[in-house]
Structure 1
Amino acid sequence: MGTGVVNIENQQFLLGPNQGILFRPRIPHEYHPLDQKNWKTAFLSFDGTLCEELAQYLGLKDFLYIDRISPEIMAFIPEIFHDFISSNTVSLPDQSVEIYKFIMLLHQNNVFKDLHSNATHITLPIVNYISDHYSEKVSNEQLSKITSYSVTYQNRVFKKAFDITPLEYLTNYRMKKAKEFLLTHPEWEINTIGNKVGFHNISHFISQFKKTYHTTPTKFRRFI
């Protein structure tokens, strides 16, 4: 509640309700209430072997100002914040899973915020379709039917907005879901996870995972 001022790297931000800043450790900053009025804040800090990779995933340089958050994040934060500060603190693996979910929500929030308004009618249906059908076979032709534009045009617009093609976005999304499943479902076999993210050839799945993350799914699971 309330509004405050945050100074970071010679920049000043007003931080009001449903806004926030994510920044790396040891980045000098200061903050105070606006006009000395009441300002209630909360913070979450975390570290771990995947932090650098997650920071790159978010496009985080030194800090990331979030001026508007999605309803999903608004619902998620109070729930997980209560769990973290309660006397029944969740286990460290569970905390890692929740933080990973939070990062995924932040990424999705930024993706939708950064879409060019004149391209949303093309990019948004593609993003939504992929998030709902990533486990299935997806082709440019299918996406073209969703957008009602030619494959060439829709791909050009999508790449301008995301710097990758729709099918490259699909592959990246599948890999991120695979990592999520490796974290959240330790009981699932690697083959099961591959199938759930749209790879029905286990060798192809392992090869793509290694190409993306420079390790195999099995080694990634051991690492965490």
Structure 2
Amino acid sequence: MQAYRRFAIPYGQAGMLPLSVETIGIVREDRRIGRADGYPWYHWLQTVSGEGVFTVGGHSFALPAGTGILVAPEVPHAYEPVSELWETAYLTFGGPAAGAMLLALGLIEPAPIRWTPDSPLEGYLHAMLDRIEADDDLFGLDASADAYRFLLMLKRHGTSGRQDSVDRASAKLKPLIEWMEQRYADPDAGLAEMREVLGMPASSMNELFRRAFGQSPYHYLIDLRMRKAKEMLIGTPQVTVARIAALAGFRDASHFVATFRRKTGMPPDKFRRLYE
């Protein structure tokens, strides 16, 4: 694979925002890329010129120009060129709010999304890459805003042959997402109550969540608690870390600090100082 242009948000900056960009690039694909364990971030791949084929969930999809596909973290997939030249643009992103945003936009199942040549989606990632390379965006704030606008445009200007399936999955998950927003502060909120909210067996609930977000409902809840904790660390500097741990649904401060460090690469007090 010959790289044309690539950019990665520096380590320690990506992941601190509700929606954060990890990498963006324009590349030439000249061989098969197989990821048996998926990719750790949400991965968007679109065709700039030529054509490729993308395989995920036992299905293979053609990706001609003006077509892209979004895959959740840790979902196995592979892609390869079917034309002599296959030029692609890609965006990888994550953050504690990414899953909820994609659910609200109905972008939770891996299926090709198409747009017309006059669509604002055409060339958007090129322009986004230009802005990132030209700007001193220390914390990735501008990149985060650009990524959010890109997802909104996918919803508004993109079309998918599986939109009905996506909408049905979104409708099934929405009551549980709303329940988590209301109950995240309760450390006793667990899988038994989640099953009751959706009215389905644990296996079905887990499968639906993994297909949508690449993680279990429990890990989604942990990420939600982390997002709420970050909001409180920044917005209420007078509140202690221990108190924020309790307000965010963690049973004790030590567990919260360990989880926060694992998720962000730094302890909560250091994260808070970044915004002083």
**Shorter-chain TM band:** 0.5 to 0.7
Superposition deviation, residue 14 in structure 1: 4.1
- Residue matched to 1:159: 210
CA distance in 2, matches of 1:51, 1:154: 34
CA distance in 2, matches of 1:13, 1:202: 52
CA distance in 2, matches of 1:212, 1:59: 23
CA distance in 2, matches of 1:127, 1:205: 22
4+ aligned runs moved over 3 Å, structure 1: 9-15, 21-25, 45-48, 58-61
CA distance in 1, matches of 2:172, 2:231: 27
Out of 129, 132, 136, which is 2:179 matched to? 129
- Residue matched to 2:223: 172
Question: Is the 1:122–1:154 Cα contact (8 Å) retained in structure 2?
Answer: no
| Letter aligned with residue 210 of structure 1 | R
CA distance in 2, matches of 1:178, 1:156: 27
- Residue matched to 2:233: 182
- Residue matched to 2:192: 141
| 1:39-76 residue CA offsets vs partner (Å, 9 max, x unmatched) | xxxxxx99432549x74xx8949x7242388xxxxxxx
Question: Is the 2:180–2:221 Cα contact (8 Å) retained in structure 1?
Answer: yes
Gaps of 5+ in 1: 1-8, 16-20, 29-44, 70-112
Q: Please state which structure has a larger fraction of its residues in strand.
A: 2
How many residues are paired up?
149
Question: Is the 1:126–1:166 Cα contact (8 Å) retained in structure 2?
Answer: no
CA distance in 1, matches of 2:258, 2:146: 25
Question: Is the 1:121–1:147 Cα contact (8 Å) retained in structure 2?
Answer: no
| 1:134-186 residue CA offsets vs partner (Å, 9 max, x unmatched) | 11122111010001101111111111111111111001111111111111111
1:26 maps onto 2:130 in alignment: yes
| Letter aligned with residue 230 of structure 2 | K
Q: Percent identity?
A: 22
- Residue matched to 2:31: none
- Residue matched to 2:109: none
What is the TM-score when the length of structure 2 is the normalising length?
Answer: 0.46
Out of 153, 161, 174, which is 1:67 matched to? 153
What is the TM-score when the length of structure 1 is the normalising length?
Answer: 0.56
C-alpha RMSD of matched pairs (Å): 3.7
Q: Please state which structure has a larger fraction of its residues in helix.
A: 1
- Residue matched to 1:223: 274
1:118 maps onto 2:204 in alignment: no
CA distance in 1, matches of 2:136, 2:228: 21
1:196 maps onto 2:272 in alignment: no
Secondary structure in 2 aligned to 1:67? helix
Structure with the larger RCO, 1 or 2 (CA within 8 Å, 6+ apart) = 2
Gaps of 5+ in 2: 1-47, 50-65, 67-116, 156-162
1:49 maps onto 2:139 in alignment: yes
